[in-house]
Chain A
Amino acid sequence: MFPTPIQQTSRFTQISYKVALPLTILIWLLPLAAIMMTSVRSIADINAGNYWGWPEQWMLIENYTEVFARTNMGRYLLNSVLITVPVMIFSVGLATMAGFALAKYKFRGRIAIFAVFIGGNFVPFQILMIPVRDLTIQTGLYDTIWALIIFHTAFQTGFCTLFMRNFIVGLPDELFESCRLEGASEWQIFTKIVLPLVRPALAALSVLIFTFIWNDYFWALVLVQSDEVRPITAGISALRGQWLASWQLISAGSIVAALPPVILFFAMQRHFIAGLTLGATKG
């Protein structure tokens, strides 16, 4: 273990470590703590310059109600869900099939196709922007949630394929061979053997994709424009223009927008980190 376990060090080091730990976490999360406090203050409190003190008035319910009552926040949240969930299902589904093919069949061009999926996944969004926007307008999908669903599904398929292929490649070949000898079709092998075995990877990947899509801002600006279809990231940014210096509302809105991926992260932490660090230990 490195560094040396703190239990084996001097008493002084041990105590300093225990003091330093909460202190660093406090500093690290200071901007966030401040915004949480701000979201429950009254405008008078903010104007009086009370940032650190106890709120003069607790406006928790008032501020958060106002965010939902006076703006389209509820609609934005719903749109984000309607976009994110289908993308998660479609991209992971398509990628599991493609990943299986790339992992367990030997054919010419296999490495090249795999490389295209990986490389495409890293390109800057701007190189895709104009053609994708044109295509979306031509197909009549511009300013609908389908514009975002289809694009995100297509783009995330690259990352998902890389992920699933690397997971499936580790499954034992004998399993597939013995099924083939028993006369199972390739599709049966996929549904009966591959799908049950990749379940842990599916969980990890789904959480990651949820976060990526929920937090997307660029495509939300480029492919949709009306309040009825805007996801929360674009929504918050539009609301900031209206609220100007009403920091208590901006803060409350931001917290509402950040909450779903944060909850998901804390609920599925192990999967999330396993997904994110795949490749950090080998390769």
Chain B
Amino acid sequence: MQETSGQSRWHALTPWLFMLPAMLLFAVYVIIPIFQSIWISFFDWDGIGDKVFIGFGNYAELMDDPQFWTALWNNVLWLLFFMLAVPIGLGVALFLNQQVLGIRAVKSLFFFPFVISQVIVGVVFSWFYDPSSGLLQDIIGIFGFEPLPILASESMATYGIIAAGLWPQIAYTMILYLTGLNNLSPDQIEAARMDGAHGWSMLWKVIIPQLRPATFIAVVVTVIGALRSFDLVATMTGGGPYGSTTVLAFFMYEQSIFSYRMGYGAAIATVLFLLMLVYIAFFLWRMLRAERG
């Protein structure tokens, strides 16, 4: 009896030993910093000198900062328009879900913007939009329009950046849907065809419900992509013109690194984190429910 309890204690320790290195690193570089950031957000701090506790001072300042509201509003725009990647990705996947010669190559060509760094996507689209030498100007020139300086316009620049972001994102959702379409149950489709379903009614009533797992993942990665948007804003406009394209992620970086306002930056990061937490909680809840059930 003594022996087995010693053995079982050792046995109980085994999984923890396996997890130890991963847990330690993850705790030090991911989990603890979240709480540290929230803590820092209650201080006035330039990153070098002493921290001065100001309670909710940074948050109160945020409420009166027009730049914060611009950033938040742009994040809302990102969320809304980035979601287009989900239906468009489904559309492309349906279009490509055929067996014709060379379709595999076509699928991978469609996918490969996703593999390219967002910095490069930003460069490509900056050039595409460039008012003096860009491709877009040539295209709209054919229809007799004047050059459109999209990234220099306060009202259009954010949409221009989101459009650039949609390019790799559609590639991503497309590949998720192609995999989903591959795993459809042929029996159900046949049965529905027997019942006279075809075209749109088939898509709505039979296909889309079966694609729910793919849709779920597509929505999750798109929301996260929209809230994480930083690279494209940084490379395409640097938040300009006049701060009109800034998003919370970029605003936070700007305030902390360039203005040395770590406390204020941490407060912005906390707001962004809380927004994301809604989705993280939803995702975890679904995932764990699937795990138990």
Contacts and interface: CB of A to CB of B under 8 A. Distances in A.
Interface of A: 1-7, 17-18, 21, 24-25, 28-32, 34-35, 38, 46, 49, 51-52, 94-95, 97-98, 100-102, 105, 107, 110-111, 113, 115-120, 122-132, 135, 150-151, 153-155, 157-158, 161, 186, 190, 211, 214-215, 217-218, 221-222, 232-233, 236-237, 240, 245, 247, 250-251, 254, 257-258, 261-262, 265-266, 269, 272-273, 276-277, 279-283
B262 interface: yes
Contacts of A251: 127
B284 interface: yes
B222 to A, nearest CB: 13
Contacts of B144: none
Given A130-B40, A261-B115, A262-B116, A280 B217 contact: yes
B227 A124 contact: yes
Pick from B15, B98, B138, B214 the residue with the most CB of A within 10 Å.
Answer: B15
Pick from A18, A49, A269 the residue with the most CB of B within 10 Å.
Answer: A269
Contact of A215 (B108, B118, B127, B175): B118
Contacts of A101: 14-16, 18-19
Interface of B: 11-12, 14-16, 18-19, 21-23, 25-26, 28-34, 36-38, 40, 47, 94-95, 97-100, 103, 106, 108-113, 115-120, 123-125, 127-128, 133, 135, 138, 167, 172, 175-176, 179-181, 183-184, 186, 189, 198, 202-203, 206-207, 213-214, 216-218, 224, 227-228, 230-231, 234-235, 248-249, 252-253, 256-257, 262, 265-266, 268-270, 272-273, 276, 279-280, 283-284, 287-288, 290-291
A150 B133 CA distance: 42
A206 B117 CA distance: 17
Does more than half of chain B's interface fall in helix, strand or loop, or is it mixed? Answer: helix
A120 B273 CA distance: 11
13 contacts: A2-B97, A34-B127, A35-B123, A101-B18, A107-B12, A118-B284, A122-B279, A123-B276, A126-B265, A128-B34, A129-B265, A130-B265, A186-B14
Contacts of B116: 215, 258, 261-262
A125 B228 contact: yes
A126 B34 contact: no
Given A120-B26, A129-B256, A283-B290, 14 more contacts: A1-B184, A5-B99, A25-B109, A31-B124, A35-B124, A94-B21, A98-B19, A131-B33, A135-B33, A215-B117, A215-B118, A217-B234, A258-B117, A262-B115
A123 B175 contact: no
Nearest to B104: A269
A49 B284 contact: no
B18 A97 contact: yes
B78 to A, nearest CB: 13
Contacts of A5: 98-99
Contacts of B227: 124
B106 A25 contact: yes
